Amino acid sequence: MKILNKNKSISVFILLLFVLQLGWSQTYSADEDNDTEASTELNGQEVSQSFFDSYFDTTPNETLNTITGNSVAITQVSSFNTAVVKVASRASDINISQNGDANNVNLTYQVDAVVADLEQNGDNNTILDYVIDPSAKVSLELKQNGDDLNFERFGANNISKNIKFTQTSASPTVIIRSFN
């Protein structure tokens, strides 16, 4: 009789462990809702796409769908401005306007299509845009108003491939690193 009770106790114990294991293995939490909004990281903090869009307009540039051929236009007013543009693309439309001293633009694109409208108003401003993705269509519309402003974009993904932004001394350095 003792053996039967002992086997029954062991069986109940094993059944209880099995049921408890199933209960603990469920990982759903009320905090995990069906939030499908994309997010990105700014200053080390995860932010929503809508918050990101309040600083950067990421609406695709309509010109990307209609441009054919390749063109670069550079206007430099004042002294010691430099522009280095390296483009390998099916289509491009790049416009650079530098008003002030010692402004620098360095663009490197290996993409399907690119539209860039860049304006530097002030001194010692820098724009560096580097995107290598032969199937990408990217755009950058950037105005730098002020002195000693720096903008850098390395790579592009769905969030950062189209950027429209006015940079002032309130945001003297903007660095975007996009890796798929």
- Tell me the range of 26-40, 46-60, 97-111 where mean pLDDT is highest: 97-111
pLDDT, tens only, 8-33: 778 777 877 676 666 666 555 555 45
Give 115's strand partners.
Answer: 93, 139
Q: pLDDT at residue 53 above 90?
A: no
Q: Strand locations in the chain, DSSP E?
A: 39-42, 45-48, 69-77, 82-88, 91-99, 104-121, 126-145, 150-154, 162-167, 173-177
Query: Is the overall model pTM greater than 0.75, yes or no?
Result: no
Report CA-CA distances (Å) from 56 to 125, 142, 174. 19, 10, 11
Could you give phi then psi for residue 168, rounded to 5 degrees? Answer: -130, -175
pLDDT at site 25: 60
Residue 51 three-state SS? helix
Could you give phi then psi for residue 51, rounded to 5 degrees? Answer: -65, -45
Residue 144: name the closest of 123, 128, 168, 164 by CA.
168
Could you give phi then psi for residue 15, rounded to 5 degrees? Answer: -60, -40
Mind giving me the DSSP string for 37-49? --EEEETTEEEEH
More confident residue, 42 or 134: 134
pLDDT at site 95: 98
Residue spans per domain, the chain:
56-177
